Amino acid sequence: MASEKVETVIAGNYVEMEREEDDPKLGKSKFSRMFWHGGSVYDAWFSCASNQVAQVLLTLPYSFSQLGMVSGIIFQLFYGLMGSWTAYLISVLYVEYRTRKEREKVDFRNHVIQWFEVLDGLLGKHWRNLGLFFNCTFLLFGSVIQLIACASNIYYINDNLDKRTWTYIFGACCATTVFIPSFHNYRIWSFLGLMMTTYTAWYLTIASLIHGQVEGVKHSGPTTMVLYFTGATNILYTFGGHAVTVEIMHAMWKPQKFKLIYLIATLYVLTLTLPSASAVYWAFGDMLLTHANALSLLPRTGFRDAAIVLMLIHQFITFGFACTPLYFVWEKFIGLHDTKSVFKRAIARLPVVIPIWFLAIIFPFFGPINSTVGSLLVSFTVYIIPALAHMVTFASAAARENAVERPPSLVGGWAGSYSMNAFVVVWVLIVGFGFGGWASMLNFIRQVDTFGLFTKCYQCPPHKA
């Protein structure tokens, strides 16, 4: 009975919203509901899976060349499970916060709950400020990485323009995401994005196997501590795509059903990342150390060009995923979040895109920037802070007794949950942030020394006359 009551409280406003969506007076067509406005479990799964593996798919073979085959596979499995656990923790904290607020008769129909608000409601302003800083900075650089990836990919179809010029062009294209109101409206985009990534992953796998190993191929990784931990933090970044978990949950009609969605999405993503990274590394070995984008080593064919075009579209979608929470924060800051006019909100959001554009031009280091963001930002945003927040929120016996969502018996209840959280915090702090931060910063500085800031064409082959 208690669980049914909680479910009613949590889902109440969403039931009302569904009824509103079905109201013909609102002029919502069946076409709009089918392709534009989603909130089901399936929508959430597509959003999680699509957002988790985008351009990073192309850099995982590069990570394998730094780690070696065995370590690369182990780290993918390890961080995939760890990421799923902390995504689960975020979902638990969201449901706890929302339940408490809705018991106080707070109505969220015109307000999108975000991670920093969950921290604020459960733990206070200092946690809010910490979450706001790390989450916004990570999503900012996550958007930057998508722009860099767009320029890197299109260059392999059309090298008449340098990568910096392509960054200008795609920055303008990605700015159109200001017109997408919320995660409800990514229904068709999430589905298409995942299909595009699936094609690209299997293209990389099959094309590498058909191509075979290059003459004299070497698989010498790992060779140095710097490369090893740089590769490991890129995989940490790969499975740290749940910085938008709260926004995806809020877009669901029944967010309490989110629990295992991220884990199932991760299992699917592993069927894409493990075969593709292993096959490309098997075929090209140490050549990947100087080719962060796996597509650069495969011969140009119609299939490769199709993969590039599909990844470009998916990167546009992922840019929207990363930027939409930033749009929400900015709207709340300037007092326009409750405005129903899509056009007014779009105009107000444009200033968010400008620093992203600028940073992509300053740091065009496709590959190394992933590891740097992973170690310095992802480590705290989606691993350390959620684990600590869960421990502190339910530290008292009263909080555990009244918890909306209790830890599953599979992990050993509260004791097992606390043990896992403590392990996540210690591991990520030492290995991810500590060793990973040291290694990725050294590698990043090396790229700056070699290519310079504002470089026109990072890792471009000499232009043929």
Tens digit of each residue's pLDDT (9 = 90 or more) over 96-130: 999 998 888 887 777 888 999 999 999 999 999 99
**Residue entry with tokens 């009263």:** 398
pLDDT value of residue 463: 59
Q: Please list the alpha-helical segments (H only) found in 239-362.
A: 245-250, 261-284, 302-334, 342-362
Which residues have C-beta within 8 Å of that of residue 379, sequence separation ≥ 6? 233, 236, 240, 428, 429, 432, 433, 436, 437
| pLDDT for the residue 23 | 44
Distance CA 33, CA 21 (A): 8
Confidence at residue 214, expressed as pLDDT on a 0 to 100 scale: 94
Helices 261-284 + 60-67 axis angle, to 10: 70
* Structure tokens given for 47: 């959003």
Q: Which residues make Cβ contacts (< 8 Å) with residue 62, sequence separation at least 6?
A: 231, 234, 288, 289, 291, 292, 293, 294, 367
Taking the alpha carbons of 188, 191, 193, 196 in that order, is the dihedral positive or negative?
Answer: negative
Cβ–Cβ < 8 Å for 373, 145: yes
The pLDDT value given to residue 1:
42
Which parts of the chain register pLDDT below 70? 1-38, 459, 462-465
Q: C-alpha distances in angstroms, 81 versus 77, 78, 339?
A: 6, 5, 39
**Distance separating alpha carbons of residues 393 and 92, to the nearest angstrom:** 11
Would you state the pLDDT for residue 11? Answer: 40
d(CA 135, CA 181): 20
CB of 86 within 8 A of CB of 266? Answer: no
Residue count (the chain): 465
How many Å apart are CA 303 and CA 112, to the nearest integer?
40
pLDDT digits (tens, 9 = 90+) for 299-338: 999 999 999 999 888 888 888 888 988 999 999 899 888 8
pTM: 0.86
Contact 94, 261 (CB under 8 A): no
